[in-house]
Amino acid sequence: MRKYQRRNFVKGLLFILPWLIGFAVFTVYPIIASLYFSFTEYHVTTKPQWIGLENYKKLFSDVLFVKSLTNTLYYAAGLVPIGLVVGLVLALLLVQPLKEIIFYRGIIYFPSIVPAYAFATIGIWFFHPYLGFINHILGFFGIDGPMWLSDENWAKFTIILLSQWGAGGTALIYMAAIKDIPRELYEAAILDGATRWQMFKKITFPLISPATLYYLVIATLGALQIFDLPQIMTEGGPANSTLSYVMYLYRHAFTYANMGYASAMAWILFIISMFLTFLIFRTSGRWVFYYGARR
């Protein structure tokens, strides 16, 4: 490194120093600290005591830990694909050449800015077994609607359905990706006599795959951390059927002040998240296409 290069480097460092400090203090340090705490018994107001792998051993014989983990995987398995379909369908509708499309775009995105608490409270009434809107509508078709949140077999699915209120965000990303696809590809396809479905399958879907990659990663991480809806609507009930991983972690960390145990849980979730993200990226080479780039 030459002298002026070094000076530039130092200057550059100085410029990003505020961010570096923030990153080190508020992100790196807590991560490392939680790794240390996960090997200790730590009750926040007392000093942490080293107990080795004890927390991790205890976790796997903890019934609620296993329950909350399977619940969370269920959430992820439902939220990610359903969210993808809903978001994509909305996006396809929102690129239709209509005059008042801007208005529709606004409406579709609107629910995403409603705070979770307000939405959850409305959701309770929306899905109320006797008085709710959904079961009322189902009643018109002679269907005796399920108990939704009061039924342990339906409660998780109810939350997955309700989460689709946030699909406007996904739709927006897909909409942008669809609008980026060059017109001439479709024109050529029409000349060749392709159907709409063929165009979607062969042109649209492959060319928005970078957006799909982004969606899969973000949605998976988000689903693994699901917290607010079940916390507000059911507090984990009935019979722990909606208890998510992060809710259980939160309980140990803050209600029971069991910070060591909670840290161990956080690290296991971190490893699961890393693994799933790695998996998605690893397979992405096979199904993600960048227009104009060589494969």
Partner 1 sequence: MKKLLLILTLIVLSTFAMAEVVEIVFWHSMSNPVDKKSIEESVAKFNETHPNIKVKVVLVPGTETEVTKLMTAVAAGTGPDVYYLDRFTVAQRAHQGVLECLEDYLVQLGVDVKELKSKYFDFAIAEATYNGKLYALPWDTDVRVLYYNKKLFKKAGLDPDKPPVTIDELDEYAEKLTIIKNGRIEQLGFVPWFQQGWHYTWGWAFGGKFYDEKMQKLCFADDPKIIASFKWQKKYADKYGMKNIGAFESAYTGANLNPFLAGKLAMVVDGNWFLAQIRTFAPKDFEFGIAPIPYPVYGEAGSTWAGGWSLVIPKGAKHPKEAAEFILYMATEGQVKYAIDTYHLPTYKEAIPGLVKADPMQKYFAELLPKAHCRPVIPVGALLWDKLTEARDYILWGKKTVEQALRDAQEEVQEALDKALGKK
Question: Residue 256, interface with partner 1 (CB under 8 A)?
Answer: yes
Alpha carbon separation from 152 to 36, 77, 84, 156 (Å, rounded): 37, 17, 25, 8
Could you tell me the smallest distance in angstroms from the CB atom of residue 44 to partner 1? 5
Distance CA 84, CA 163 (A): 12
Nearer to partner 1, 80 or 243 (CB): 243
- Out of 15, 29, 36, 254, the residue judged to bind partner 1 by CB under 8 A: 254
Nearer to partner 1, 42 or 215 (CB): 42
| Contacts of the segment 94-102: beta carbons below 8 A, 24+ positions apart | 94/171, 94/175, 95/175, 95/178, 95/179
Nearer to partner 1, 117 or 278 (CB): 117
Q: Could you say which residues in the range 227-246 bind partner 1, by CB under 8 A? A: 237-240
The encoded tokens of residue 214 equal 């982004």
Could you tell me the smallest distance in angstroms from the CB atom of residue 248 to partner 1? 12
Distance CA 154, CA 147 (A): 7
- Out of 72, 80, 128, 168, the residue judged to bind partner 1 by CB under 8 A: 128
- Find how far residue 264's CA is from the centre of its chain: 22
Distance CA 39, CA 261 (A): 8
Number of residues counted as binding partner 1 (CB under 8 A): 24
| Interface with partner 1 (CB under 8 A) | 43-46, 121, 124-125, 128-131, 147, 149-152, 237-240, 254-257
